[in-house]
Amino acid sequence: MNPLVTIFCLCYNHKKFVAQALHSVFNQTYTNIQVIVLDDGSTDGSVKEIGKQLSNRPDVHFINHMSNMGYCSSLNEVAALAKGEFVIDLSADDILMPTRVEVGVREFLKKGESYEVNFSDAFIINEFGKEISVHSQKHPHANIPEGNIYKNLIDRYFICPPTLMFRRSVLVKIGGYDETLAFEDFDFLIRSSREFNYFYTPLPLVKKRILASSMSATQFVRNSPQRWSTYQVCKKIALLNKTIEEQNALKKRLLYECRTSVRLFELHLALKFLKLYFRLSSPSTMLT
């Protein structure tokens, strides 16, 4: 079997890195790939750089936004064009290892249709491409759960989002990305893991770049839009939970997010996390 894999490459002011990201896509050992590139209103010359990289690639679908539409909205736009059985969402500052798609397809075929989402280990690199760590140094292979990991994802962080590869049917069934949110990772993980099984590949198949401006770096900055989005996802979790264990995991998470908001002097948001915590502790909302 040789299933088609769709790779999204979304760019916003990543002129310095987009060529490397695209090269990592074009140099995959697996060749049955659909590539969709979208620039979301970059102002740093990224579009010109993308044009250079795609000059000999008429097979690549390129979308150029004149203004910034937001990451989740852009993801839904490219997802609507996807034809592959499997999907990879690659940010233009990250890099795929040459065998990322090949290994992913092989593992999916081995696991069978009962598994819908794959994630792997990752190299962590800095702005200059120097490897500074490996994701598994903080999250050892032996501690990574598989299968129904919904509660685990409420409990703690252990998935490196750029490593995700999943069946396109997952996106369809969860209704795509939530365009009201500032970032997609947490929401996608929660909503998809509620319905679908995950499995782990203990190989670093992606290089995740850490930048001062990246979402992962700005998530814990005061007044970051990601903080509000995290609260919105926590409200979704409250509706998705089915067991006392899941509810307790969320309550633990809410206290953590409340403390983080206080530390960032976001008292209004801290109060919202705390109110949700007490609402879940009310007898009328207790799960049985």
Mean of pLDDT over the chain: 94
Tens digit of pLDDT for each residue in 246-270? 999 999 999 999 999 999 999 999 9
Instruction: Evaluate if residue 206 carries a pLDDT over 60.
Output: yes
CATH number of 5-212: 3.90.550.10
Instruction: Evaluate if residue 218 carries a pLDDT over 90.
Output: no
The whole-angstrom distance between residue 1's C-alpha and the CA centroid of its chain comes to 27
Determine contact, residues 133/124, Cβ cutoff 8 Å: yes
Structure tokens at 222: 């005061």
| pLDDT recorded at residue 222 | 64
- Contacts of residues 187-192 at CB distance under 8 Å and 24 or more positions apart, as own/partner, are 187/229, 187/232, 187/233, 187/236, 188/164, 189/153, 189/159, 189/161, 190/150, 190/153, 190/154, 190/233, 190/236, 190/237, 190/240, 191/236, 191/240, 192/116, 192/117, 192/166
By C-alpha distance, which of 233, 229, 261, 248 is closest to 287? 248
Instruction: Evaluate if residue 213 carries a pLDDT over 70.
Output: no
Tens digit of pLDDT for each residue in 24-35? 999 999 999 999
Please state, in angstroms and rounded to a whole number, the distance separating the CA atoms of residues 4 and 87: 9
Confidence of residue 17 (pLDDT cuts 50, 70, 90): very high
Tens digit of pLDDT for each residue in 41-87? 999 999 999 999 999 999 999 999 999 999 999 999 999 999 999 99
- pTM, rounded to two decimals: 0.93
Residue spans per domain, the chain: 5-212, 225-285
| pLDDT recorded at residue 1 | 83
| pLDDT recorded at residue 217 | 53
Three-state SS annotation for the chain: CCCCEEEEEEECCCHHHHHHHHHHHHCCCCCCEEEEEEEECCCCCHHHHHHHHCCCCCCCEEEEECCCCCHHHHHHHHHCCCCCCEEEEEECCCEECCCHHHHHHHHHHHHCCCCCEEEEEEEEECCCCCEEEEHHHHCCHHHCCCECCHHHHHHCCCCCHHHCEEEHHHHHHHCCCCCCCCCCHHHHHHHHHHHCCEEEEEEEEEEEECCCCCHHHHCCCCCCHHHHHHHHHHHHHHHHCCCHHHHHHHHHHHHHHHHHHHHCCCHHHHHHHHHHHHHHHCHHHCCC
Instruction: Evaluate if residue 215 carries a pLDDT over 60.
Output: no
Tens digit of pLDDT for each residue in 107-151? 999 999 999 999 999 999 999 999 999 999 999 998 999 999 999
Confidence of residue 216 (pLDDT cuts 50, 70, 90): low
Instruction: Evaluate if residue 284 carries a pLDDT over 90.
Output: no
